[in-house]
Amino acid sequence: MQDTPTLSPSSTPTAPVELVPEIVQRARSAMAAYAREIAAEGQARIDEAVTALAWSLYKPENARRMAEIAVEVTGLGEVESKVIKNQRKTFGTLRDLLRVKSTGIIEEIPEKGIVKYAKPVGVVAAITPSTNPSATPVNKAMMALKGGNAIVIAPPPTAWGATKPTVDLMRAELKKIGLPEDLVQVLPSPVTREATTRLMELSDLVVCTGSQANVRQAYKSGKPAIGVGLGNAPVIIDASADLDDAAHKIMLSKTFDHATSCSSENAVIIVDAVYDEAIAALERQGGYLASPEERERIVARLWQSGKLNRSVIAQAPEALIKVFELGPKAQGCKFVMVEETGVGKDYPLSGEKLSLVLTVYRAKDFQDAKRIVREILEYQGKGHSCGIHTNTPEHARELARDTDVVRVLVNQAHTFGNGGGFDNGLPFTLSMGCGTWQGNSISENLNWRCFVNITHLVTTIPEDKPDEAELFGAYWAKYGK
């Protein structure tokens, strides 16, 4: 097996859109062969396939090489973080998948006379982002094959050179265990919008992680589509928080992979009672608080013509120091903190920044902090997630009750916990659904159940029919018949 596939220029077709029907047909043929294997060997064969895909990236030398290629090809993020992501996300997803049954009878509810059978959805078109050109394709492929499906991956053109070798590793591992390589494919380069659109049209399910333009296109494809939303996670530091613990977790989360994650903290809202102490704790963790003059340069240079500046997106602190012309005290910092008071389009720092820039708000108290969180999410990121550092459980519950997000993390490093963790109960994923709040069809972490259809076998049970008075009695008593 070749751990690091080479890319042959001769393998690049001149008209990739014309090859899409053939690619999808190969996927269907591979899926038919896979179904025969499953029929003969059952769940064990599925789990063997999923484990093979996981090992293709988890294997230490592969995890590192794919991380190196990802940074080299995309120019985004940091190698050591991507090594961790390649292994941690893959390992956690494998843990989740090996603990569930995904073929045949997966659940029986005798008291309701229900038996549930899981069946494949078909060929999955997977749109993947440049920020995770290896981890996301493997994550989605594992979930797809867990459901008995085949998958075709459509990366952005800027990430194809990193995703292609990742797919080659998966295909080689499938071949090693005697399964069709075409269960996992990637669109040929150059990946075009036309080819990606055609793939979505010919597939049975579209799963899109990436730009909102791609998500909208997925919903227009005419096929069932699962899209995910924009991140812009705001996190509260409450008066009862362990400030050093909170600051350490925020630093670890914010700096991981140079803030490429959609779950990275974009704003921290600190209550007035502990504001100065919290800032000091963040500074001890490597945060640099920009001066008012530096703040103006940051706002002016973080965006260019309304778009985030490629010179600072997912780049190391040194790049920010140079572009923003930060003072000598910024040398050696891990991330940059910028104070803000407003929210909305006139206050760009309140939005997602995909960089080591952390917006800081000062709130009067918890109620005010909660208000700021909601305003930030109304502007950008509604439905995605938020967090709180607190030792007052009632505040965490109140934040969850009153905030329209799918996930509220308590006392956690947001980047590590939001997509599943070994110390929380969320399933491991790299794709976070945001519910109807952000136009998504799921309000959960993308998981294997999104990749199966369920047949319900329904048998009769003793009649469960209450009399009229049981259902209407309270209404009649109050309003009459």
Residues marked active site are found at 262
Strands 452-458 and 114-120: antiparallel
Q: In this structure, what is the dihedral angle of CA atoms 162, 164, 170, 176, given to the nearest 10 degrees?
A: -130
Q: 451 - beta bridge partners? A: none
What residue has token string 């509260």? 236
Distance CA(454)–CA(467), nearest Å, equals 32
Helix ranges, 256-392 (H): 275-284, 292-302, 317-324, 366-379
Give the DSSP letter string of 186-205. Answer: EPPSSP-HHHHHHHHHHSSE
Strands 225-227 and 205-208: parallel
Distance CA(315)–CA(309), nearest Å, equals 11
Peptide bond into 5 cis (omega under 30): no
* Residue 416, SS3 per DSSP: helix
Torsion angles phi and psi, residue 321, rounded to 5? -60, -40
Helix ranges, 150-274 (H): 160-176, 193-202, 212-219, 243-255
CA distances from 393 to 238, 240, 267, 396, 397 (A): 11, 10, 21, 5, 6
The tokens of 297 are what? 């340069």
The answer to whether the beta carbons of residues 344 and 377 sit under 8 Å apart is: no
Which of 280, 277, 276, 282 has its CA nearest to residue 250?
A: 282
The tokens of 380 are what? 């950008």
The answer to whether the beta carbons of residues 320 and 312 sit under 8 Å apart is: yes
Distance CA(133)–CA(147), nearest Å, equals 22
Distance CA(325)–CA(250), nearest Å, equals 24
Which amino acid type is present at position 321? I
